[in-house]
Amino acid sequence: MGRFDHALDPKRRLTIPSIWRKAMGNPDFVYAMPDRKERCVNLMPKAEMDVLLSKIREKALFDPALNRVFQVIGSMSEQLDLDVQGRIRISDKLLQYANLTTTVAMVGSFRMIKLWDPAALAPVDSVDATELDAALAAAGL
- pLDDT digits 0-9 by tens, 77-127: 899 999 999 999 999 999 999 999 999 998 988 788 999 999 988 776 677
Mean pLDDT of the chain: 86
Strand partners, 88: 14
DSSP state of 30: E
Q: Give residue 78's identity as a one-letter amino acid code.
A: E
Q: Which CATH superfamily is domain 3-138 in?
A: Transcriptional regulator MraZ domain (3.40.1550.20)
Distance between CA atoms of 41 and 97, rounded to whole angstroms?
Answer: 8
Distance between CA atoms of 122 and 104, rounded to whole angstroms?
Answer: 13
Q: Give residue 100's identity as a one-letter amino acid code.
A: L
- pLDDT digits 0-9 by tens, 31-90: 999 998 999 999 988 887 777 777 777 666 677 777 787 788 788 889 999 999 999 999
Helices (H) and strands (E) in the chain, counts: 5, 8
Could you count the other beta carbons within 10 Å of the beta carbon of residue 78?
Answer: 18
Strand partners, 43: 32, 113
Q: What is the reported pLDDT for 60?
A: 62
Structural domain boundaries of the chain?
Answer: 3-138
